[in-house]
Amino acid sequence: MPAAAALALDGVEVTLGGRRVLDGLTFTAAPGAITALLGPNGAGKTTTIRVLTGLVPVDGGTAQVLGRPAGHPDALARLGLMPQATGAWSSIRPLELLRYLAGLYARPHDVHALAEALGITSFARTPYRRLSGGQQQAVNLAGALVGRPEFVLLDEPTAGMDPHARRRTWGLVRQLADAGVGVLLTTHAMDEAAQLADHVWIMDAGRIAIDGTVAELTATESLEDVFLRHTGAQA
């Protein structure tokens, strides 16, 4: 494993509800780079993100985040998380939410500037539960970024977004990486991974099936063909 990896999972095993969900998962993500984690439904991508945040303890192997064991307060303070769904917010308004989250960090972004950059301003005072799925995604992304993280975990960041919002989000992810922020994103959109990622890891049934740069993986076939060849529909 590269000494300078921002994220480093080595032989991670996780069992949930009696089922082995991560089964010797080993992968790394470099600081300041965009890393994509792909895999069929149920392959274990969200569980991996939960391991990286310390929400799910590992049963075997090791998980390091920014030089600390996953879940360590020093790592969490430097990490941003955009979860797949945040049903918890309900009636809070985006601007209130961002102000609240900003208050948890030492050097947060200006919430108005962040709302503007993410196209949130026009619905910043609408209760979260009344927002469309794509609008909720934009708010979730803002929440991941407001603390000025060194590394962000984005779980299907553009799911449900229209093409405008998707392109805006891609631009933002690139800007983050250009500014030195590391990004791990999960996605089912092969074009998204191909457009954005410096390195792609494809998971199947709780472990890595293949990885490489987009250029390496797509030398002779499309990323979707590589994906289909190395993964199966999960049980």
Ligand X SMILES: Nc1ncnc2c1ncn2[C@@H]1O[C@H](COP(=O)(O)OP(=O)(O)OP(=O)(O)O)[C@@H](O)[C@H]1O
Q: Which is nearer to ligand X, 50 or 78 (CB)?
A: 50
Shortest distance, CB of residue 41 to ligand X, whole angstroms?
3
Shortest distance, CB of residue 38 to ligand X, whole angstroms?
9
C-beta of residue 48 within 8 angstroms of C-beta of residue 9: yes
Residue 11 backbone class (left: φ over 0; alpha: ψ -120 to 50; beta: rest): left
Q: Which is nearer to ligand X, 47 or 137 (CB)?
A: 47
Q: Which is nearer to ligand X, 97 or 140 (CB)?
A: 140
Shortest distance, CB of residue 187 to ligand X, whole angstroms?
9
Contacts with ligand X, residue ranges (CB under 6 A): 16-17, 19, 21, 39, 41-47
C-beta of residue 37 within 8 angstroms of C-beta of residue 201: yes
Shortest distance, CB of residue 189 to ligand X, whole angstroms?
12
Shortest distance, CB of residue 17 to ligand X, whole angstroms?
3
Contacts of 50 (CB under 8 A, 6+ apart): 56
Q: Which is nearer to ligand X, 47 or 169 (CB)?
A: 47
Q: Which helix (H) or strand (E) holds 193?
A: helix 190-196
C-beta of residue 159 within 8 angstroms of C-beta of residue 8: no
The residue assigned the tokens 């991941």 is: 144
Nearest residue to the partner ligand X, using Cβ: 17
The burial of 87, by beta-carbon neighbours within 10 Å (0-12 exposed, 13-18 middle, 19 or more buried), is given as exposed
